[in-house]
Structure 1
Amino acid sequence: MSVYDRIAALSVTIESVSRRRYTGATTSGFERTTTEFRLAGDGVVGRGEDVTYETADHDALVGTDPVDIEGEWTIDELSTHLDDVDLFAHEPPTQEYFRNYRRWAVESAALDLALRQRDESFGEYLGIEASPVRFVVSTRLGDPPTTDRVEELLELDDELEFKLDPTPDWPQEAFVTLRETGAVRILDLKGWYEGTDVDVEADPELYRDVFAAFPDAIVEDAAFTPQTNPLVEPQADRLSFDYPIDGVESLESLPVVPGYCNVKPSRFGTLESLFETIAYCQDEGIDLYGGGQFELASGRNAIQTLAALFYPDAPNDVAPRPFNDPEASPPYPKSPIRPARNTVGFEF
């Protein structure tokens, strides 16, 4: 049986629904806002985090009634019901794909609650032992770009690994310094974003420098254009995709069969799509690693737990919160991070 088949019939009793808003500064220079959906029943609470990026979408929830899903369900029944529920009924999302982010918050909260009502962790329910999770630190080089933060973190822990976002304004010395560290595992070209603050131009010169300077690193979200295709297509075995992936169909529609897939559960929206995609990648030999989205609450537990169960040894972009908190100070957690004992639900 697939993972989803095993959780689909899980029963969950929802007696009330509430929300809690979180805000926090980030090391990338913006203030993050998220909303945690809290489903209560039988004396316990299940949590799921809506990681929609635009603060305005969270503002639109203020003063509105929570989604009406009280009752007794199976996980699959609830998911089917949500197909007909507009989680942005009060105001359309600023980006259409944010609908998946909020859907994931509700469905993951329901699974968390169902497991807590059984007094079991996700791993216990599946019969999978949670393993220590290897993580990479995702950071930007700033404006103007410098390698200072990477070097400072390596001075504290010379075994740290990194996921970086190259841009056309990286100076050549940055490529040289970073390559010499031997610590860069993933380079995210962000070539599939449109109309966001993190769009990066599909610059053939940048792509050429990235592929040459880091011959063993995973390269994420490279764009396919007439100018970049000759550089990108021969690198398929080390390509990974994140932004465009929201299910099996999106993977199958890629111009190449990639060597890797970055699993950000909110991208998939439903539990069924998430676990269907994980199974597809396992069957097709596409390596998996977890991705983060500056979660401030239960969402970080969820992505770390998924990594611990399905891809613990990968270069997971699920580093503990202090690495994204500009007010945090050393010592920082070391990789791998070990799951706690006697957890329940999605706790890590």
Structure 2
Amino acid sequence: MKVNGFELRRVSMPLKAPFRTSFGVEHERDVLLVRAETADAEGWGECVAMSEPLYSSEYVDGAAEVIRRFLLPALASQVSLDPRHVARVLEPFKGHRMAKAAVETALLDVWLRERGESFGSFLGAVRDRVPAGVSVGIMDSVPQLLDAVAEYVEQGYVRIKLKIAPGWDVEPVRAVRERFGSDLLLQVDANAAYTLADAVTLARLDDFDLLLIEQPLAEDDLRQHAELARLLRTPVCLDESIESAKDAADAIALGACRVVNIKPGRVGGYLEARRIHDVCVAHGVAVWCGGMLESGLGRAANIALAALPGFTLPGDTSASDRYYAEDITEPFRLDADGCVTVPSGPGLGVQPVRDILDARTTSSDWLPL
């Protein structure tokens, strides 16, 4: 495949409401989009890096710079670009998985559009609809949290994920479970906010019949996660700790998790995400698809991934209006039974709405290849 060049486009997307986690509060996303152009088609990739290096060491300005200075020049040396081999070409550059994922996704999208094949079909999707969960941030009060959860339950979301942090854990979870009952699929996400010294507190969550507790400890400590997993009845799920299929295999071998949250941007792209899925399926470990407040472009790819057979738990594949009053694509909507539809068109199956995209664009650079 011959690529003419890439556009790096920055888009400002205000959130409908602030989203608070253990590591900070987001009010809007500064989205970096990568557009790959050939003579016959264009493809899009979304970088999930945040404005500041809080969730990971990557941040959006740095991602744009590494794409511009290193990743695209490396691709320019290839006579013909096969998106299935992009990861190997970019392997000499350490880290920067979110930047690499955005480039690889853009190339996969344009390649699949030229072939007339959908993203889901290429990855191995077996469903045309996937159940949608929703992530609920830390609130100022328990009553405010209960009101938010009630709204999402009424909308039809089949699973609720509560962000937790020291001081905001047992009581909020207890209140939600008591209000909505044992039938509600409920899980929590700590974003690495605890230490093994908090095991007694985390064990109190066992009383609430949770699906899982996500990333309770530091991302670089599989050994302590394994020790914590032996102390809890609630399954431990790893998120930030898993950046590759090797990481997943190591975590499983150590007994550090019974569930894995696969975020394609965090692991370097959808091909590595599929490899992680395959490793987990081979070892009987459940997986689900996490989210990073993606626009409709990134959401389309995540929904396609979530349709693979090993994704047996609802993911953070919410409708567009969970986070944005206006998406840059046609919005994804929640069906009556709490599912979202997997796009079936070529490539990602969605395109930016040009007027909305242009109105939200804060900068754009064209880089010929």
User: Following TM superposition, by how much is the alpha carbon of 1:82 offset from its aligned partner in structure 2, in angstroms?
Assistant: 2.0
Q: Residue 185 of structure 1 corresponds to which residue in structure 2?
A: 186
Instruction: Give the alignment of 1:73-84 within 5 angstroms.
Output: 73-84=81-92
User: Following TM superposition, by how much is the alpha carbon of 1:159 offset from its aligned partner in structure 2, in angstroms?
Assistant: 5.4
Q: Residue 136 of structure 1 corresponds to which residue in structure 2?
A: 133
Query: Does structure 2 conserve the Cα–Cα contact (< 8 Å) formed by 1:248 and 1:273?
Result: yes
1 CA distance for matches of 2:224 and 2:256? 20
Residue 319 (structure 2) pairs with residue 316 (structure 1)? no
Correspondent of 2:214 among 213, 216, 220: 220
1 CA distance for matches of 2:215 and 2:169? 21
Query: Does structure 1 conserve the Cα–Cα contact (< 8 Å) formed by 2:136 and 2:160?
Result: yes
User: Following TM superposition, by how much is the alpha carbon of 1:174 offset from its aligned partner in structure 2, in angstroms?
Assistant: 2.5
Query: Does structure 2 conserve the Cα–Cα contact (< 8 Å) formed by 1:23 and 1:296?
Result: no
Distance change >3 Å, CA 271–CA 159, structure 1 → 2: closer
Correspondent of 1:337 among 336, 340, 357: 340
User: Following TM superposition, by how much is the alpha carbon of 1:257 offset from its aligned partner in structure 2, in angstroms?
Assistant: 4.9
1 CA distance for matches of 2:30 and 2:201? 32
Q: Percent identity?
A: 21
Q: Residue 289 of structure 2 corresponds to which residue in structure 1?
A: 290
Correspondent of 1:100 among 87, 97, 100: 97
2 CA distance for matches of 1:263 and 1:227? 21
Query: Does structure 2 conserve the Cα–Cα contact (< 8 Å) formed by 1:33 and 1:55?
Result: no
Distance change >3 Å, CA 201–CA 53, structure 1 → 2: farther
Correspondent of 2:165 among 161, 164, 167: 167
Distance change >3 Å, CA 51–CA 127, structure 1 → 2: closer
Q: Specify the SS of the correspondent of 1:73.
A: coil
Instruction: Give the alignment of 1:223-234 within 5 angstroms.
Output: 223=217, 232-234=229-231
User: Following TM superposition, by how much is the alpha carbon of 1:273 offset from its aligned partner in structure 2, in angstroms?
Assistant: 2.9
1 CA distance for matches of 2:150 and 2:41? 42
Residue 276 (structure 2) pairs with residue 273 (structure 1)? no
Q: Specify the SS of the correspondent of 2:2.
A: strand
Counterpart amino acid of residue 72 in structure 2: V
User: Following TM superposition, by how much is the alpha carbon of 1:155 offset from its aligned partner in structure 2, in angstroms?
Assistant: 6.1
- Partner deviation per Cα, 1:116-138 (whole Å, 9 max, x = no partner): 11111133446644421111110
1 CA distance for matches of 2:310 and 2:223? 34
Counterpart amino acid of residue 188 in structure 2: L
Q: Residue 156 of structure 1 corresponds to which residue in structure 2?
A: 154
- Partner deviation per Cα, 1:230-271 (whole Å, 9 max, x = no partner): 753144772211101011221233341522111101122155
User: Following TM superposition, by how much is the alpha carbon of 1:162 offset from its aligned partner in structure 2, in angstroms?
Assistant: 0.6
2 CA distance for matches of 1:155 and 1:272? 33
Q: Structure 2, unaligned stretches of length 5 or more?
A: 20-24, 54-58, 351-369
User: Following TM superposition, by how much is the alpha carbon of 1:154 offset from its aligned partner in structure 2, in angstroms?
Assistant: 4.6
Q: Residue 41 of structure 1 corresponds to which residue in structure 2?
A: 38
Distance change >3 Å, CA 162–CA 151, structure 1 → 2: closer
Counterpart amino acid of residue 148 in structure 1: L
1 CA distance for matches of 2:230 and 2:260? 16
Q: Specify the SS of the correspondent of 2:120.
A: helix
Correspondent of 1:207 among 175, 199, 202: 202
User: Following TM superposition, by how much is the alpha carbon of 1:156 offset from its aligned partner in structure 2, in angstroms?
Assistant: 2.7
- Partner deviation per Cα, 1:10-29 (whole Å, 9 max, x = no partner): xx331121121122233304
User: Following TM superposition, by how much is the alpha carbon of 1:103 offset from its aligned partner in structure 2, in angstroms?
Assistant: 0.4
Q: Residue 305 of structure 2 corresponds to which residue in structure 1?
A: 306
1 CA distance for matches of 2:239 and 2:169? 26
What TM-score does the superposition give when structure 2 sets the normalisation length?
0.74
Counterpart amino acid of residue 14 in structure 1: V
Counterpart amino acid of residue 74 in structure 1: D
2 CA distance for matches of 1:186 and 1:49? 27
Counterpart amino acid of residue 88 in structure 2: T
1 CA distance for matches of 2:246 and 2:2? 32
Distance change >3 Å, CA 110–CA 164, structure 1 → 2: same
Q: Specify the SS of the correspondent of 2:148.
A: helix
User: Following TM superposition, by how much is the alpha carbon of 1:139 offset from its aligned partner in structure 2, in angstroms?
Assistant: 1.0
Counterpart amino acid of residue 337 in structure 1: V
- Partner deviation per Cα, 1:169-200 (whole Å, 9 max, x = no partner): 23765333211314243211222xxxxxxx45
Q: Specify the SS of the correspondent of 1:81.
A: helix
User: Following TM superposition, by how much is the alpha carbon of 1:50 offset from its aligned partner in structure 2, in angstroms?
Assistant: 0.9
Query: Does structure 2 conserve the Cα–Cα contact (< 8 Å) formed by 1:131 and 1:309?
Result: no
User: Following TM superposition, by how much is the alpha carbon of 1:76 offset from its aligned partner in structure 2, in angstroms?
Assistant: 4.0
Counterpart amino acid of residue 133 in structure 1: V
Query: Does structure 1 conserve the Cα–Cα contact (< 8 Å) formed by 2:98 and 2:266?
Result: yes
Query: Size of the alignment, in residue pairs?
Result: 315
2 CA distance for matches of 1:141 and 1:78? 38
Query: Does structure 2 conserve the Cα–Cα contact (< 8 Å) formed by 1:131 and 1:312?
Result: no
Q: Structure 1, unaligned stretches of length 5 or more?
A: 1-11, 87-95, 192-198
1 CA distance for matches of 2:39 and 2:292? 31
Query: Does structure 1 conserve the Cα–Cα contact (< 8 Å) formed by 2:226 and 2:256?
Result: no
Q: Specify the SS of the correspondent of 2:44.
A: strand
Distance change >3 Å, CA 229–CA 37, structure 1 → 2: closer
Counterpart amino acid of residue 299 in structure 1: G
